[in-house]
A = this chain, B = another copy of it.
Amino acid sequence: MARTAGSHSDITGPRVLDAALRLFARHGYAAVSMRQIAKEVGVQAGALYNYTPDKQSLLFDLMRRHMDDLLASRAKRRRTGSALEKLEDFTRFHIRYHLDRSDEVFIAYMELRNLTPENFAEIEALRREYENELEAILRQGEEEGVFAPADTRIETMAVIAMLTGVTTWYRVEGRLSADEVERIYWDMVRKAVSV
User: Which residues does A use to contact B, with CB under 8 Å?
Assistant: 26-28, 30-31, 110, 113-114, 148, 150-151, 154-155, 157-162, 164-166, 168-169, 176, 181, 184-185, 187-189, 191-194
Interchain CA distance A110-B164 in the complex, whole Å: 15
Interchain CA distance A114-B31 in the complex, whole Å: 9
Chain B residues with CB under 8 Å of A148's CB are: 187, 191
Chain B residues with CB under 8 Å of A164's CB are: 161
Chain B residues with CB under 8 Å of A165's CB are: 157-158, 160-162, 165
Interchain CA distance A186-B100 in the complex, whole Å: 31
Q: A30-B28, A30-B31, A188-B192 are in contact. Are A161 and B155 (CB under 8 A)?
A: no
The residue that A188 contacts in the complex, of B166, B181, B187, B193, with Cβ under 8 A, is: B193
Interchain CA distance A30-B27 in the complex, whole Å: 10
Counted per complex, copies of this chain come to 2
Query: In the complex, which of the residues A159, A164, A165 has the most CB atoms of chain B within 10 Å of its own CB atom?
Result: A165
The residue that A26 contacts in the complex, of B27, B113, B157, B194, with Cβ under 8 A, is: B113
Q: A26-B113, A28-B28, A191-B194 are in contact. Are A185 and B158 (CB under 8 A)?
A: yes
By beta carbon, the residue of chain B nearest A31 is: B30
Interchain CA distance A177-B25 in the complex, whole Å: 35
> With A157-B166, A162-B162 given, can you name 15 additional A-B contacts, CB distance below 8 Å?
A26-B113, A28-B28, A28-B113, A31-B114, A148-B191, A150-B184, A150-B188, A154-B176, A157-B168, A158-B165, A158-B166, A158-B188, A161-B166, A189-B192, A191-B193
Q: What are the 4 tightest A-B residue pairs by CB atom distance, in nearest-first order? A: A161-B165, A30-B30, A162-B162, A192-B192
Chain B residues with CB under 8 Å of A194's CB are: 191
B154 and A181 contact, CB distance less than 8 A: yes
